[in-house]
């Protein structure tokens, strides 16, 4: 059987950001969920350094997912090993530390190395606690975070071209299509994890891969890291989130659900488990915002998955659940572009997303299909109730061309996702 070629597509959005920060004082911290492509970007950084004339021995790399580095997963051992590897070298040293959260006390190591060596340091990590109090205290003002996301739909098309599963001249044009078999349906089904493009286009194989990814996040970045004993409880909680995608809920609603399953837990435990999942970049909360006053409301958040296909690993793919999946896709796209995202609360209803970035505000309503005039009126009415001049858009999977109504645009999802300027 012919071996499939590893698909490596330069993700310039992130790689260029890291490269432009090289040889500047701050440490570069690359964060994101497991298997989202952090290690590939780190290898690309190393390749760029070599191409730029940096001697190979001056680029010192560690991948702490390797069992061979288990003896170096404490601060003193790693510090001594780095010093031994760079001893006698001339010129600046570049230290690339992959999945550095596996090293106990790694913050002390990098803080000391910045003092003791002429070095630039790039680290990756799969936990938001990487930037928690210890790092903030030791390296306050001396690091920059580069957040890595699952593939956007545009990147998904680039990977399809590179993998040879989509003709080069047709991929981008096909990306706008909503016909059966168009790339957008594959994206909704299998999500944005780069690794799926190294697999045969077989649903069972890809589903198994995604399940392994999510289990790795749960077991390694949540259960093991936080020493949770009740894995079943965590699994039931994530399934509850998956079944309520696109709906607000509270801790009390979770406890009632668990009680119906003959499981008991308090609200504090619910919030703690949800926080652990957020820290592992598995989930992201979206809080409700009072539209008129821009005041954050304290209860009833929505939760979305970092990659929407992870929802399918818990409950299976079901086309009837696409409305929530579409909201997930739009929410993550907004966050990927740097927007601060909230759920808009109106006196008589809700706007799916109110997003702000640099003085720009956008309102977005997400619908699966505007199948009849009543649905169309309902979706547009929420935005028509907001009396300001900010951009307002209804996003759906309707194949009809986009149009405007009372200044509100209706756009097909693929067009919305591929538009660089909203």
Q: Residue range 45-60: average pLDDT?
A: 97
Q: Residue range 151-174: average pLDDT?
A: 76
- Alpha-carbon distance 311 to 328, whole Å? 10
pTM of the predicted model, to two decimals? 0.92
What whole-number percentage of the chain has pLDDT above 70? 93
* Model confidence at 297: pLDDT above 90: no
Is residue 36 within 8 A of residue 148, CB to CB? The reply is yes
pLDDT in tens, 95-117: 999 999 999 999 899 999 999 99
At 295 the pLDDT is 77
Q: What is the DSSP letter of 224?
A: I
Q: Residue range 138-148: average pLDDT?
A: 84
- Alpha-carbon distance 319 to 315, whole Å? 12
- Alpha-carbon distance 397 to 380, whole Å? 15
At 1 the pLDDT is 43
The backbone torsions φ and ψ at residue 304, rounded to the nearest 5 degrees and listed phi first, read -130, 155
Q: Angle at the Cα of 43 (from 41 to 44), degrees rounded to 5?
A: 60
Helix axes 12-21, 38-51, angle to 10 degrees: 50
Q: What is the DSSP letter of 401?
A: P
How much is the mean pLDDT over the chain? 91
Is residue 70 within 8 A of residue 36, CB to CB? The reply is no
Specify which residues 249 forms β-bridges with: 301
At 38 the pLDDT is 96
Is residue 251 within 8 A of residue 270, CB to CB? The reply is yes
Q: Which residues contact residue 319 at a Cβ distance below 8 angstroms, ignoring those fewer than 6 apart?
A: none
Rg (CA), the chain: 23
Cα distances (angstroms) measured from residue 311 to each of 36, 85, 179, 198, 282 = 16, 44, 24, 21, 10
- Alpha-carbon distance 365 to 291, whole Å? 14
Q: Is 376 left (phi over 0), alpha (psi -120 to 50) or beta?
A: alpha
- Alpha-carbon distance 68 to 37, whole Å? 21
- Dig out the tokens for 145 from the structure: 């975070």
- Dig out the tokens for 324 from the structure: 């929530």
At 382 the pLDDT is 94
2 pLDDT tier (thresholds 50, 70, 90):
very low
At 145 the pLDDT is 92
280 pLDDT tier (thresholds 50, 70, 90):
very high
At 299 the pLDDT is 75
- Alpha-carbon distance 68 to 36, whole Å? 23
The backbone torsions φ and ψ at residue 155, rounded to the nearest 5 degrees and listed phi first, read -65, -35
Cα distances (angstroms) measured from residue 205 to each of 188, 215, 377 = 16, 15, 42
* Model confidence at 5: pLDDT above 70: no
Q: Which residues contact residue 198 at a Cβ distance below 8 angstroms, ignoring those fewer than 6 apart?
A: 4, 6, 7, 163
User: How, if at all, do strands 283-286 and 288-290 pair?
Assistant: unpaired
- Alpha-carbon distance 253 to 165, whole Å? 44
At 7 the pLDDT is 61
| Burial grade of 133 (CB within 10 A; 0-12, 13-18, 19 or more) | exposed
């Amino acid at each position: 059987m012919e071996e499939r070629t590893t698909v490596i597509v330069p993700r310039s959005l992130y790689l260029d950001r890291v490269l432009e920060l090289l040889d500047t004082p701050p440490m570069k911290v690359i964060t994101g969920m497991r298997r989202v492509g952090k290690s590939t970007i780190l290898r690309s950084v190393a390749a760029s350094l070599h191409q730029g004339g940096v001697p190979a021995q001056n680029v010192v790399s560690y991948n702490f997912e390797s069992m061979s580095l288990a003896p170096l997963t404490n601060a003193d051992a790693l510090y001594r090993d780095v010093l031994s590897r760079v001893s006698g070298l001339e010129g600046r040293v570049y230290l690339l530390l992959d999945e550095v959260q596996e090293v106990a006390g790694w913050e002390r190591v990098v803080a000391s190395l910045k003092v003791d060596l002429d070095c630039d340091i790039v680290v990756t990590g799969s936990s938001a606690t990487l930037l928690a109090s210890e790092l903030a205290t030791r390296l306050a003002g001396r690091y920059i975070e580069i957040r890595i996301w699952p593939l956007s739909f545009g990147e998904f098309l680039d990977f399809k071209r590179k993998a040879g599963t989509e003709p080069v001249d047709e991929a981008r044009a096909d990306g706008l299509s909503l016909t059966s078999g168009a790339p957008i349906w594959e994206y909704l089904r299998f999500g944005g994890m780069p690794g799926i493009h190294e697999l045969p286009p077989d649903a069972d194989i890809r589903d198994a891969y995604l399940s392994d990814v999510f289990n790795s996040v749960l077991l390694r970045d949540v259960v093991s890291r936080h020493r949770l004993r009740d894995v079943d409880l965590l699994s039931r909680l994530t399934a509850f989130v998956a079944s309520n995608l696109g709906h607000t809920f509270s801790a009390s609603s979770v406890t009632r659900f668990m009680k119906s399953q003959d499981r008991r837990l308090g609200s504090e435990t619910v919030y703690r488990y949800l926080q652990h999942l957020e820290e592992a970049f598995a989930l992201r909360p979206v809080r409700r915002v009072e539209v008129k006053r821009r005041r954050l409301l304290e209860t009833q958040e929505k939760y979305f998955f970092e990659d929407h296909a992870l929802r399918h690993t818990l409950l299976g793919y079901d086309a009837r659940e696409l409305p929530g999946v579409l909201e997930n896709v739009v929410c993550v796209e907004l966050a990927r572009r740097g927007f601060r995202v909230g759920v808009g609360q109106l006196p008589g209803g809700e706007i799916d997303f109110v997003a702000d970035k640099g003085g720009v505000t956008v309102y977005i309503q997400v619908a699966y299909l505007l199948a009849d005039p009543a649905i169309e009126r309902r979706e547009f009415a929420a935005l028509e109730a907001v009396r300001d001049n900010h951009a307002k858009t209804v996003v759906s999977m309707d194949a009809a061309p986009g149009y405007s109504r009372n200044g509100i645009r209706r756009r097909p999802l693929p067009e919305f996702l591929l538009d660089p300027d909203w």
